[in-house]
């Protein structure tokens, strides 16, 4: 099979690493990819949102399967776009635009959860017409309070306000100043939940589903989970507190009703559902849905899938996932993200990366790199993810930590305390 993966980050490198090992994969393309994916297949310089260009490349290279990494093309309807005559035989991994609304519209996701009785923070939704009501609502709301722009805002659309003044300011910026354009013309205001988070990944054909390895990512820039939010500074899998008892609750209260909700609404969903959960005193609540895999979670999830992932992906088309289950390795995985100094605020690119050849017993997934005249240079905030496996979490973390230090570039930074709560 000829396979095309869309995207260019660590997530797509990890997907490419897994897919390229399958005997069913005869040729692998990644668009646009990165220098890491270039060693596993052929990179194609295409923007992930240019559906016409993607169509042309799929026909030219006789692509059989398209795996969509990031959310944007899904929310914009790439799955529906491929549901046209010349393209219909191409198997696209991802939900329809309607399914992708679980991520693309917070208001839609909240209403969906409310209707299905899925535990989540209590909320109300406001728009420009109801701005004054929103302010009044915030004035009587206990603090902290959470404000979420309805639409996609590149991971920046959530504000946790510590006091009423901050909350009103955030609401004003989102609705009146249109901080995120149309994405914040509607805002969800919800109660703040206190607990520990984890990421649950579900592969579904719209009828059957399978839970993939559970992971936890570390979003804050600073040690001990302090400072600004980032795209993710590291991840571990499995997650010690997400034991069988907890996961049983997740299945009964969250995954099963999510599947029922999709089926009841006639939503076609053949791809990954990423459920961001928070455990409040051992009870799971949904923080958010995403319509794709997580990054950097994929960098620990893929290495823990013990068998070929392709049969499971292929089975989604005919809704036969129940016959093609993935095997999950009992090993622990940890990944540490090496980032550019200054990230997630201003940072420099184009730094020479050295020491990769010294890395042992680890997988290195490129996130923001580029090749220039044979030299590997940094090309983003998150530069690369270093993943290690071990028989224990401590072993995996220790190998990842030892090796991340071997990769050097000017002003690089990484967190030394990924997994800190569990060691």
Interacting residues with ligand AMP (CB under 6 A): 121, 146, 155, 158, 160, 190, 192-193, 197, 219, 276, 287-288
Contacted by 193, from ligand AMP, ligand GLY, none: CB < 5 to 8 Å by type: ligand AMP
Query: Who's near 208: CB < 8 A, 6+ residues apart?
Result: 319, 320, 321, 322
* Contact of 63 with 19, CB cutoff 8 Å: no
The site string for ligand GLY over 159-198 (x = CB under 6 A, - otherwise) reads ----------------------------------------
Contacted by 227, from ligand GLY, ligand AMP, none: CB < 5 to 8 Å by type: none
Structure tokens at 172: 């004003």
Any contact of residue 290 with ligand GLY (CB under 6 A)?
yes
Any contact of residue 237 with ligand GLY (CB under 6 A)?
no
Nearest CA-CA partner of 335 in 388, 384, 383, 298: 388
Round to the nearest angstrom and report the end-to-end CA distance of the chain: 42
Q: How far apart are CA 169 and CA 241, in angstroms?
A: 36
Q: Which of 217, 299, 308, 324: binder of ligand GLY (CB under 6 A)?
A: 217
Q: How far apart are CA 233 and CA 213, in angstroms?
A: 19
Contacted by 197, from ligand GLY, ligand AMP, none: CB < 5 to 8 Å by type: ligand AMP
User: Nearer to ligand GLY by C-beta: 104 or 134?
Assistant: 104
Q: How far apart are CA 289 and CA 210, in angstroms?
A: 16
Least distance between ligand AMP and beta carbon 406 (Å): 30
* Contact of 128 with 173, CB cutoff 8 Å: no
Q: Which of 7, 271, 294, 344: binder of ligand GLY (CB under 6 A)?
A: 294
Least distance between ligand GLY and beta carbon 290 (Å): 6
User: Nearer to ligand GLY by C-beta: 297 or 308?
Assistant: 297
Structure tokens at 71: 């959310």
Q: How far apart are CA 296 and CA 216, in angstroms?
A: 9
* Contact of 63 with 77, CB cutoff 8 Å: no
User: Nearer to ligand AMP by C-beta: 190 or 308?
Assistant: 190
Please, is 89 exposed, middle or buried when counting C-beta atoms within 10 Å of its C-beta (0-12, 13-18, 19+)?
exposed
Candidates 76-84, 287-295, 299-307, 376-384 — which segment interacts with ligand GLY by CB under 6 A?
287-295
**Residues in the site for ligand GLY, rule: CB under 6 A?**
217, 232, 290, 294-295, 297
């Amino acid at each position: 099979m000829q396979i095309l993966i869309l995207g260019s980050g660590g997530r797509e490198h990890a997907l490419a690493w897994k897919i390229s090992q399958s005997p069913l994969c005869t040729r692998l393309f990644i668009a646009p990819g990165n220098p890491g994916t270039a060693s596993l297949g052929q990179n194609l310089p295409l923007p992930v949102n240019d559906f016409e260009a993607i169509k042309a490349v799929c026909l030219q290279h006789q692509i059989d399967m398209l795996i969509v990494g990031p959310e944007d093309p899904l929310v914009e309807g790439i799955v529906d776009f491929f549901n046209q005559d010349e393209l219909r035989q191409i198997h696209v991994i991802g939900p329809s635009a309607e399914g992708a609304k679980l991520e693309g519209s917070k208001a839609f996701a909240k209403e969906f959860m409310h209707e299905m009785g899925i535990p989540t923070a209590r909320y109300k939704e406001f728009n420009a017409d109801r701005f004054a009501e929103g302010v009044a609502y915030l004035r009587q709301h206990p603090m902290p309070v959470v404000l979420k722009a309805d639409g996609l805002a590149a991971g920046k659309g959530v504000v946790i306000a510590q006091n009423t003044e901050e909350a009103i300011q955030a609401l004003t910026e989102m609705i009146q100043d249109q901080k995120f354009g149309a994405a914040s013309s509607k805002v969800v205001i919800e109660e703040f939940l206190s607990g520990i988070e984890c990421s649950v990944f579900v592969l579904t054909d719209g009828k059957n589903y399978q839970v993939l390895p559970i992971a936890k990512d570390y979003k804050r820039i600073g040690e001990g989970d302090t400072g600004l939010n980032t795209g993710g500074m590291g991840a571990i899998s499995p997650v010690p507190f997400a034991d069988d008892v907890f996961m049983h609750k997740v299945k009964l209260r969250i995954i099963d009703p999510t599947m029922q909700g999709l089926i009841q609404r006639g939503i076609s969903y053949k791809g990954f559902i990423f459920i961001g959960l928070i455990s409040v005193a051992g009870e799971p609540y949904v923080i958010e849905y995403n319509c794709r895999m997580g990054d950097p979670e994929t960098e620990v999830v893929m290495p823990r899938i013990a068998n070929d992932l392709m049969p499971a992906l292929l089975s989604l088309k005919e809704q036969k996932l129940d016959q093609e289950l993935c095997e999950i390795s009992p090993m622990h995985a940890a990944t540490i993200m090496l980032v550019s100094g200054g990230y997630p605020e201003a940072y420099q690119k184009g730094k020479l990366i050295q020491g990769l050849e010294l890395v042992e017993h680890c997988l290195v997934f490129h996130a923001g790199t580029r090749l220039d005249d044979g030299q590997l240079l940094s090309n983003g905030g998150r530069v690369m993810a270093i993943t290690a496996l071990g028989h224990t979490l401590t072993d995996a973390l220790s190998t990842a930590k030892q090796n991340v230090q071997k990769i050097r570039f000017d002003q690089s930074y990484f967190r030394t305390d990924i997994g800190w709560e569990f060691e």
